[in-house]
Structure 1
Amino acid sequence: MSRKEITTPVTAAIADGDMDVVKANTLLLAMEAYAKQLNASTKALRKYLVEHTEPNETVTTMLGESTHRRGGEAKPKVDDIAMLGSWLYDNGEEDMTDSGYILPVEEALDPKVIAMIMKKHNVTEIPGVKWASARDDSVAVSGPSWDEIISDPKLRETAANALKMTGIPQIAAGEQENGEAEEDEEAFSWETI
């Protein structure tokens, strides 16, 4: 999905000059409280998917897909090339430095090579090298935009049914192509978001 600016009834009201500070403050406070609930729920759902799927497994539904991404271990990363080169030269690793200079060769910048050198010298730190943080497994999500969900009757119904268990304001399933009843737009609580 391309990242583009999202227009909502709130952003439209602001652009049209149909907003005042009291209304803006009320909406902001309500939405901030609501966003905390959404964030807690999405965090729990991502954790659940990581715990119940295999790395690189993709779960696909009508609303899109979620893919379990494998995290990464902490690994050494060169922070100061000159300091690393100097340490290598001073500690008998001259072959890992450029001849005539105290700069490491390209190979010496590889995290796997640095880890091997650390193991060889029985050290956990080398000047000029710091450890990049480990990354936990995560979930990448790809799906339609909210506007696409609202404008497609089948997606809207699927989202409405899925959101029933959240306790958050409900969306109406909307009118089907076959002419079934649709909720009045005024009663549709998500339209103000």
Structure 2
Amino acid sequence: MVVIMIYLQLFITFLQIGMFSFGGGYAVMPMIQRYIVEQRGWITFHQLADITSISQMTPGPIAINAATFVGVKVAGPLGGVVATIGSITPSFILLILLAYFFFRNSNLYYIQDILKGLRPAIVSLILIAAISLGGSAIFLETDFTIPWLQNLNYPAIVSALIALFLLIKYKVDSVIVIFSGALIGIIYHAITII
């Protein structure tokens, strides 16, 4: 019975996230943080940051990848399947309804007005996710009693600035930046354990 309850919790939690994850990508991260990290305690904030990084290196939307990772961590492979199904169910149903509606009514000018209204809210969600994830990347500890200059992760800051420069100035493909970051992380880890 306990096993069934955890699967049900996974499904319902990711169903809720899927229902309100307008904007996709990083816009869903504050919801994942609130439901998965803060309310359920299934993963830590640093694990969420790691999942986000890994999700960038794997195909598919971040919310679905996060659902799969969290589901596997909480309840094994079947938990990953259940969480993923919960995550995609709302958009699957909504897309079927929208596709039907769209092909029946080609004059959807008011849908554009709705989307224009959603954009500012989605931008703010993405900014919140960027600030939260950025904080976990640039600070060594979340214990802010340590003087902040001693608490900064300088290699991560330099790496982020270089990546940002390459993305903006030279339009380097994001996949190359992601894999380069992973390679730099491996090299940095190898150097620090020697």
The interval holding the TM-score normalised by the smaller chain is under 0.3
Q: Normalising by structure 1, report the TM-score.
A: 0.24
Which of the pair is proportionally richer in helix?
Answer: 2
The structure richer in strand per residue is: 1
TM-score (structure 2 length as normaliser): 0.24
Larger Rg: 1
